[in-house]
Each structure stands twice: as structure tokens, then as C-alpha cells.
A and B are shown apart, each in its own frame.
Chain A
Amino acid sequence: MFNFVKLNYRELIIALIFTITFIYLKTKAIKLKKDNNELRLKVEKLENKIILDENEYKKLNSDNNEFISLVSHEFRTPLTSIMGFTKIIRKKFSRHVIPALEDKKLLESNEKLSYQVELIKGNLEIIISESERLALMIENILDTTKIDFGNELGKCEKLSIETIINKVILSTYSLIGERDIEVFDLIEANIPYVYGDEHKIMQILINLLSNAFKFTNEGEIVISAKRQDKEFIIIEVKDSGIGIPEKYQNLIFNKFKQVESKDGDKPKGTGLGLYITKNLVKQHGGTIGVRNNETKGCCFFFTLPIYKGEEL
């Protein structure tokens, strides 16, 4: 009897331990289930938020595109009138007004009149060049807005960098003006084709070349291109201008960063050109940088992917 009770007591203890463990585990399981449900709800909430954010982003992007289209139209139309009419006035003035004054020998005899005529001619040139500057600024601001909202490249295809460089040199030749600057290209023989958006690659080169013209008064500007490795070609735009102080070299690719001019004049331009250029190179999967030449001027270099018969 004693033995039986003893045995039963043991079993009771074991049963008790089992029961306690069972209750503990059951409570834990219920709590875990509750936590799990809470977590699932949280995940669902987060998922919904992501969908909402995505929709919000899409809406923002479409608002932005609408804004770009509105700004381009609303700014460009009056600018077209200002630039167009000024050019017509300039033409009519030099074709009709000046010859008529010269015919009557008024310009020779009247110094004041002759001075006023020169003043009008000069002022018309200022209106035209400032309007052109404004047009460029609008373009740069729109390009920046597009980049900031992640606009993709246009049509990418197999391209000859030599053809593009030659086109760019020709189209920017007029920027030399009266200065004694020689521009030439140095393309490695059998350079491979590149893969990219022709319009955007031209924009990269035009931006770099215009910059080189802006800071070079005499000497030469060389655009060279050669294979860098299996993946990329490297293109360099080397000028013999004033160079860029080292402390600015990393900054100039940022938005609105411009090198202070030595004469203390406010630098011309928007401070967006190199930011746009950097992003266009990045969109192609390339890299961009600048260094000063050993002797004079600086050298901007960037890489573009080699065409491999397939898309990037």
C-alpha cells in the first residue's frame, strides 16, 4: 500500500511537471501566435504603405513630367519671341537703317548719332547673348529635374565614337570666336564601338568641350579616345586653359558648384552642366573625373561601355 502511494505520488509529480510544462508551452504558443498575428498585421500595413508610396511616387513623377512640359512651354514661348524679334531688329537695322544713314553721310558728320548707332548694335548683341544664356539655363534646369526624377536614357545602340567626336567638334567650332585655339581629335586605331544613347553622349561631349572653350584663351584642345580595358573606352578632353584648383576638383560635379573666377566676376552659367554630364555618364555605366595637366590646363576624362552585340 505504502509502495503504491509512493509510486502514485511520483507519477503525480511527473504528471504535474508535464502539466506545468504543457501549460507553459501552450501559453508561449498562444503568445507566439498572437505575436505572429501582430507581425503579420504590421507586415501587411507596411506592404500597403509601400504600395501607397509607389503610387505616390508614380503620381509625383507624372506631376513632375507635367511640370517639365509646362515650364518648357511657358518659358520657351516668350523667349522665342524675345530672341526672334531681336534678331529681326538686328538684321533690319544693319540692312536698312545703317545703309540709309550712311547714304546721307549722317554717320560720318554726326559723332553723337554714330555713337548711338554703335550702342544700339552692342545692346542688341547683349539681348541676344543673354537670351541664349537664359535658354541654356532653362534647358539645364529641366535636364536636372529629369535626372533627379530618374529619367532613363533614350534609345541605346551601337555607335562610332569617332563619328560622334567629329560631329561635336564641328558643332562647337563657332565657340572659338576670335581666339587662337586649335581643336583636334586623337582616336586610337580600331577603337571598338560604344553602346549608348547618341544624343546623350553628344550632350556629354558638348558640355565638356564648351567648358574647355570657356576657360581656354589660347593653345589647343584635344579630344582623345582609346580602349581602357575589356569593358570600357576612355575619352579625354584636354585643354590648355586656367586649370582647376585641387580643392574644387571633387566638388565641381555637384549641383551649383562653380569655380570662382580669378577676376572676381560671377561665374557664367548655371552650375548644372557638370552635374548633368556626370549623371549622363553614370546612366551609361561609366565614370567621370578631372585632373590638372602637368603643364597647363586640365583634362576631363570619362568612360563609356564597349558595344558587345547585346543590351547592357
Chain B
Amino acid sequence: MKTKILIVDDEAPIRMLLEQTLEEIEEEFELYRAKDGEEGLKIILQEKPDIVFLDVMMPGLTGYEVLDKIKDKDELKDIKIILLTAKGSTEEIEMSNRYNIYLYITKPFDPDFIVEKTLELLQ
């Protein structure tokens, strides 16, 4: 079964950037995109992706609110969440410690770093 990767970000250029960055990975995977928290949550519940790139500041459901809605679901506990956020304020780091987050990446991020971390997960 192919690995499923979901990108949730309200900014179209960031979704495109992540998509083009992941193109570098040779292993096959299925890619899903969501333009906000609600859509992201829907895909998470339906598709149970393996890796989710999740933006924090989004209109409607924020990244943390999405995490809040999935944190008690056993069938989703293996999802590797890579949180994309603007600035690692202490408050934000504390918030992210409350959830099961694989990695916390601050913007602006280096595409090579994204590839490296995704490869780590795919192995």
C-alpha cells in the first residue's frame, strides 16, 4: 500500500512549494491537499494518511484545533504530524507539546530539510 501524505495549508504557494519539494522523493506516495483545517480534518478522518504537513495559523479550524479533534482517536494515533508554523514562540512550543507531534518546523523552512525528514519517515 502506498504511503499517504497530506498537505494542509491555506496558502496556495506553500502547498505548491511542499508539493514540488516532495517531487524529489523517488518512492511512490499518494498526495492529498487541503486548503483549510476543515478540509484537512475531513481527509484525515477518511483517508488516515501516514504523514500530515499541518499549518498552524489558518482561518476556520487552526492546526491545533484539527489536532484537538483527532487526539483521542486511537486509529489516528500513528499519523506523523509535521507542524508548520510561523515563529516558535514559547507559547506555541508549549501548545505543540500537548499533542503527538513528530516534528515542528518553523517558516521559512528549507526544502532540503523537508525532503530529508520525509525520507526518514518513509524508511
A residues at B contact (CB < 8 Å)? 68-69, 72-73, 76-81, 83-85, 87-88, 131, 135, 139, 142, 154
Q: Mark B88-123, 1 if CB is under 8 A from A, else 0.
A: 011000000000000000111111100000000000
Distance in Å from the Cβ of B7 to the closest Cβ of chain A? 13
Residue of B nearest to A87 (CB): B111
Which of these binds chain A: B11-19, B33-41, B42-50? B11-19
In the complex, number of A-B residue pairs with CB atoms less than 8 Å apart: 55
- Chain B residues with CB under 8 Å of A68's CB are 87, 89
B residues contacting the other copy or chain, number (CB 8 A): 18
The 23 listed contacts between A and B (C-beta, < 8 Å) are: A68-B87, A68-B89, A69-B57, A69-B86, A69-B87, A69-B89, A72-B86, A72-B87, A73-B86, A73-B87, A77-B11, A79-B107, A80-B108, A81-B11, A81-B13, A81-B17, A83-B108, A84-B21, A84-B110, A85-B17, A88-B17, A88-B111, A142-B87
Given contacts A83-B108, A84-B111, contact A76 B86 (CB under 8 A): yes
Which of A68, A84, A87, A142 counts the most B-chain CB atoms under 10 A from its CB?
Answer: A84
Cα of A72 to Cα of B108 in the assembled complex, Å: 10
B3 proximity list for chain A (CB < 8 A): none
Q: Do the beta carbons of B111 and A79 come within 8 Å of each other? A: no
Q: Are A76 and B107 in contact (CB-based, < 8 A)? A: yes
Query: 7 more A-B contacts (CB under 8 A) besides A76-B108, A88-B111?
Result: A68-B89, A69-B86, A69-B87, A80-B14, A80-B17, A88-B17, A154-B90
A84–B108 touching, CB < 8 Å: yes
Question: How many angstroms from the CA of A77 to the CA of B107 in the assembled complex?
Answer: 7
A139 to B20, CA, bound (A): 27
Q: Which residues of A sit under 8 angstroms from B107, Cβ to Cβ? A: 76-77, 79-80
- Assembly CA distance A83 to B87 (angstroms): 16
Assess the A87–B14 pair: CB atoms within 8 A.
Answer: no
Q: CA of A154 to CA of B89 in the docked complex: distance in angstroms?
A: 10
Rounded to whole angstroms, the CA-CA distance of A87 and B17 in the bound complex is: 10
Query: CA A77 – CA B57 in complex, angstroms?
Result: 10
In the bound complex, residues from chain A placing their C-beta under 8 Å from that of B89 are 68-69
